[in-house]
């Protein structure tokens, strides 16, 4: 399960699977089985290195 902002699992909730979001809350009594990845929100500007890497991989695919 992916979310842009936050995932909340309430005390009566049951989740089996992986979670990926900037914020995750699990209340006492909730059932959760899986992995959690806390992701940082991407900034609107990309670094020059990541832009260059993308351009390289794109041109390699088109060859």
- Enumerate residues 6+ apart whose C-beta is below 8 A from 19: 1, 3, 7, 32, 34, 35, 36, 37
Please write the tens of the pLDDT for every residue from 27-52. Answer: 999 999 999 999 986 655 555 554 44
Domain locations along the chain:
1-41
| pTM for this prediction | 0.61
Please write the tens of the pLDDT for every residue from 8-24. Answer: 999 999 999 999 999 99
């Amino acid at each position: 399960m992916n979310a842009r902002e936050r995932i909340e699992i309430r005390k009566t909730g049951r989740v089996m699977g992986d979670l990926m979001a900037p914020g995750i809350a699990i209340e006492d009594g909730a059932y959760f089985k899986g992995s959690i990845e806390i992701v940082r929100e991407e900034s609107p500007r990309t670094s020059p290195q990541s832009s260059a890497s993308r351009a390289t991989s794109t041109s390699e695919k088109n060859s």
